[in-house]
Chains A and B, each alone.
Chain A
Amino acid sequence: MYLDRDWRRPPVPAQFSLRVAILGGVGLVVFAVIFLRLWYLGVLSGDRYLAEAQNNQVREFTVQAPRGEVLDRDGKPLVTNRTALELQIKQTDLPASPEARRRVFERLAEVAGMKTSEIRTEIRKQTRAAPSSPVALRRDVPYQLVYYLRENQARFPGVSVERIYVRRYPREALAAHLLGYVGEVTEEDLGDPRYSSLDPGDHVGKAGVEYTYDSLLRGVNGATRVKVDAAGTPTGGRLSVREPSAGNDLRLTIDSGVQAAGESAIAGLGLPGGFVAMNVNSGELLGLGSSPSFDPAVFAKPSLPQSEYQALIDEDLGAPLTNRATQGLYPTGSTFKLVTALAALASGNLETDEVINDDGLYRLGTIEFRNAGDVAHGPIALRRALQVSSDVFFYTLGDRMNLDEGDGGPLQEWARKLGFGEPTGLDVGGELEGLLPTPEWRQELYERSQEPESPEGRAVVAADFYEYGGLDRPWSVGDNVNLSVGQGDLQANPLQLAVAYATLANGGSVVRPHVGMQVEDPAGQVIQAIEPEPRREVEIEPQWRTTIMQGLRDAAMAPSGTSYNVFGGYPVEIAGKTGTAERGVGRADQSWYVAVAPYDDPKYVVAVTIEGGGFGADAAAPATREILTELLRVNEEKIDQVSSSSAEVFE
């Protein structure tokens, strides 16, 4: 080692120069590496990086388009928009390290008055539904928070407050079941061609007219491409602007006066129920509602808490989310006699003036079918039978029309023609089709019950039968007799019944009920009229129609008619039929009423059902009267209240 010598003297040149050379070599390598890297970055990949640099400073801001409004038939708003300030988290802009994230959440929790656990839960929940959308934490945050976050944006990466449009319901719960609600588009939805133009975070209709007419109501979001600095602050350069275009307005056929009258009439009874008010010729629904109802604004929240949703479907609370007008399935009771009468007349099993003796009892083998209240109406023809709602008369028809095989006889055929057992095609959807009992249906159920396993691999359980009010036995004539008065296995909803009555009233068109009337652009120009064609025509001889209509008018307007003490003396002549359906042991009867008005020139049909309402005349008929009064613009003040003695009137 050269150091061992006197340091003042030159060291061993070979060793020393080697080391200088090595040091120089290191320097050379360093510079070579740097130059090569610099050459690679700047010269070979320069264009790519230049593009990245330019892309770096362009941010696209979405400008939300307001959704169209929903109006009633007179243009009164049912659903409008309001702007709300929403606190959002964009997950992609959050810090990546869990520690830094935690700090952001802690700061945010403090200023927003939330718990960090709440924030995390919300993120988890919403990320599951829509992984790439911003997470909405709170709506309607105060302005102070907005300013604070903007001033301290650097401490809150990924947190922002956005101005968004939120649905507003000026009439609160009115027509809640029809209007439906709006929610953030889910990840699965985005794959649907229906939503192809949407981005995560956009809002779409989830139910009701919001869903059905979504593509018309939804606007097209605008976008602004601006130059920003690293903090995302715009630096002034605006590259391109696409103005948002507002969605179209939807005008409904609903008359908010009729709707309100219907809802309050049923709510006033304090029992669950549903109602339908429809134009018999066009199928336009002037009112359709269910009670109990709910405030659709609950769905305007960023996310509906599970407990609140549970309350909406809780049977004990009357399952407010259920639309009893389209989803409430019950036996219809005597209101079904219209179908029986038509079927019997059309199949030649009855003449309009044919007299049948009603001695209060109908014997079928060993089984006895009795009139309600065991009254005997004596020899009567169809008109009178409808007026007093003779069961024996219709039992007889049911017996006559029975066919033990296949789809059954004329009764089933006509029930099907008039729309029982199938959805009516209502534009807001969500209908339940109900059940029209046929020999084939019962036979199949019976056969399955004889085997432990069904051919479909499904075990038949007793509940299958009880659900349909039956026992595990094959079809018998008794089933047809029951059906003739709307009892037994029949399941139908008020809308189906309304369509059946409308078909008689309009002379044979099975209309397609609808709530959409027309679509108007934001300037108010009609761009699409919604006029669905009738589903089909059925042949009804004028003679049959006249006789049945007369019977129904007498039932409502003539003394000893089943609903005379509700409609007797009503200023507008109407035709109406009560219905009282048994719903099994220990359950109060289902109360029904269907009215067609005015009698001379039918325009409207109103159908009402009340769960546990008892006799049709007791609950459903008074509710129907309230609706008709609003529908026909009757001045109730002038109506002579019918104070006819409460003569016992039985169906």
Chain B
Amino acid sequence: MEAYPRPRFEQPRVGLIERAGFLHLDVITLFAGIGVIGFSIYTLGVATAEDVAGDPYYYVVRQAVYAVVGIALMLAVARVDYSRFRELRVGIYTAMIVSICLVFLFAEATRGSRRWIELPFFTFQPSELGKVLLILTLSAFVIDRARRGTEARRTGRILLLGLVPALLVFLQPDLGTGLVYAVITIAVLFVAGTSWTHFAVLGTLALGVIAVVLWVAPALGAPVLQDYQQERLTAFLNPSDDPADSSYQINQALIAVGSGGKTGRGDDATQTQEGFLPERHTDFIFAVVGERFGFVGAAFLLSLYALLIWRALRTMTLSKNLYGSMIAGGIAAMLIFHVFINVGMTLGIAPITGIPLPLMSAGGSSVIVTFIALGLLQSIYVQSQLASRQGSIPVLR
């Protein structure tokens, strides 16, 4: 009867996808990310056809290429055990600082700011990649220092490690990205369980710094911010004061989003189509969405972000170790901050700081880095799935 010998080992049935290591991917994160980039490509397609003479698909093609590269990198990162990065923390941190410093040497100044390094095929913005690298390394340093010294010293040290690159970016000058670094630092400290008293002290200090930067220093004649930065930061507080400059953009953005109404103006859109609003394919792309697709379109896009952030928070709790939780927490905070500042700026409730809307704004560095961040989330998720099979306990069930 037994014509065939039994196999020596019980081998579970493994399909193609699982063999490629993708079975454990978080499907919601995957599709929300792809949804946003798809929405971005569609929006750019309808809105920027006349931006570059003779090349109606200029931004579409570029964004699509970045999307493909980004998704590939995301899948690659998902397959790596993120815990490896903890071991490479010093090297990664050094590389990050060096790459940010490189822009001071090589970068072309665009509109008075040095942020980009020209590569043969790509304009690279090290400070964008730095966001993810900072999350990885700060979380690693937190764990590294976990049982050494007093808690105050630990907090101070992490703050220092976070604020050095934040300051470098700020000096480019790129105020928005500098703030993102600060937020990431705070988020990592927060997830790491830094005591409330420390946060209270930090909060007081931050308020003091803001007061000094915005009011005291300019009053004493030693402004920290450039005039235009100060203007942009405070213009949203009184938008009708000054129709010519910073608040011009706010007003035009408000008109764009407001005129979209419930379902949008489609191809009748004028605010974002006739050039009333600058930077419509990058910083102000949400205004394009609002005007063209209305409340419905904007709500759809925001829902996709909500999904991504929810999954990031969920991944935090599923992580097999604290390192993964901190990474996921940093990414969640980064996403929340980006969405709030960018969309809030378009809606006139947040200062103009010029940070991109993740996966929506046209731009290679931002798209690719966001996908890398999503790849890290996937990696944490996959590792937690594998660990639970092996019987280890995730951080939180």
Assuming the A-B contacts A37-B347, A99-B227, are A7 and B259 also in contact, with contact meaning beta carbons closer than 8 angstroms in the complex?
Answer: no
Assuming the A-B contacts A3-B142, A97-B244, are A20 and B393 also in contact, with contact meaning beta carbons closer than 8 angstroms in the complex?
Answer: no
B-binding segment of A43-51, A314-322, A377-385, A445-453 = A43-51
Q: How far is the CA of A56 from the CA of B254 in the complex (A)?
A: 13
Tell me, yes or no, whether B349 is within 8 Å of chain A by CB: yes
- Chief secondary structure at chain B's binding surface: helix
Q: How far is the CA of A2 from the CA of B190 in the complex (A)?
A: 12
B302 touches A46 (CB 8 A): no
Tell me, yes or no, whether B395 is within 8 Å of chain A by CB: yes
Count chain A residues whose beta carbon lies closer than 8 angstroms to a beta carbon of B.
52
B255 partner, pick from A49, A229, A231, beta carbons under 8 A: A49
Q: Chain B contacts of A235 at CB under 8 A?
A: 274
Q: Chain A contacts of B295 at CB under 8 A?
A: 38-39, 42-43
Q: How far is the CA of A8 from the CA of B387 in the complex (A)?
A: 12
Q: How far is the CA of A41 from the CA of B343 in the complex (A)?
A: 13
Assuming the A-B contacts A27-B332, A41-B254, are A19 and B193 also in contact, with contact meaning beta carbons closer than 8 angstroms in the complex?
Answer: yes
**Inter-chain contact count A-B, CB under 8 Å?**
168
Tell me, yes or no, whether A4 is within 8 Å of chain B by CB: yes
Q: How far is the CA of A11 from the CA of B324 in the complex (A)?
A: 13
Q: How far is the CA of A101 from the CA of B254 in the complex (A)?
A: 26
Tell me, yes or no, whether A313 is within 8 Å of chain B by CB: no
Assuming the A-B contacts A7-B146, A97-B245, are A13 and B333 also in contact, with contact meaning beta carbons closer than 8 angstroms in the complex?
Answer: no
Interface membership of chain B positions 128-169, coded 1 if the CB is closer than 8 angstroms to chain A and 0 otherwise = 000000000000001100110001000000000000000000
A41 touches B321 (CB 8 A): no
Interface centre among A23, A35, A37 (most CB of B within 10 A): A23
B28 vs chain A, min Cβ distance (A): 15
Q: How far is the CA of A35 from the CA of B298 in the complex (A)?
A: 9
B299 partner, pick from A19, A35, A53, beta carbons under 8 A: A35
Q: How far is the CA of A11 from the CA of B344 in the complex (A)?
A: 35
Q: How far is the CA of A57 from the CA of B259 in the complex (A)?
A: 13
B65 vs chain A, min Cβ distance (A): 30
Place the interface of chain B in its size category: 35 or more
A42 partner, pick from B257, B302, B332, B395, beta carbons under 8 A: B257
Q: Chain A contacts of B193 at CB under 8 A?
A: 1-3, 11, 15-16, 19
Tell me, yes or no, whether B191 is within 8 Å of chain A by CB: yes
B350 vs chain A, min Cβ distance (A): 9
A19 touches B274 (CB 8 A): no
Q: Chain B contacts of A147 at CB under 8 A?
A: none
Q: Chain B contacts of A37 at CB under 8 A?
A: 344, 347-349
Q: Chain A contacts of B370 at CB under 8 A?
A: none
B294 touches A42 (CB 8 A): yes
Assuming the A-B contacts A8-B321, A10-B393, A16-B395, are A54 and B270 also in contact, with contact meaning beta carbons closer than 8 angstroms in the complex?
Answer: yes
Tell me, yes or no, whether B192 is within 8 Å of chain A by CB: yes
Tell me, yes or no, whether B113 is within 8 Å of chain A by CB: no
Top 7 nearest A-B pairs (CB, nearest first) are A49-B258, A46-B261, A53-B259, A96-B244, A229-B274, A42-B295, A230-B275
* 21 A-B pairs in the complex with CB atoms less than 8 angstroms apart: A4-B147, A19-B190, A27-B332, A31-B302, A34-B344, A35-B299, A37-B344, A38-B347, A39-B295, A41-B290, A42-B257, A43-B295, A45-B258, A47-B261, A53-B259, A53-B271, A54-B270, A56-B276, A57-B274, A230-B277, A231-B275
Q: A43-B295, A56-B255 are in contact. List 7 more A-B contacts (CB 8 A).
A: A4-B147, A7-B143, A10-B394, A37-B344, A53-B270, A100-B245, A231-B275
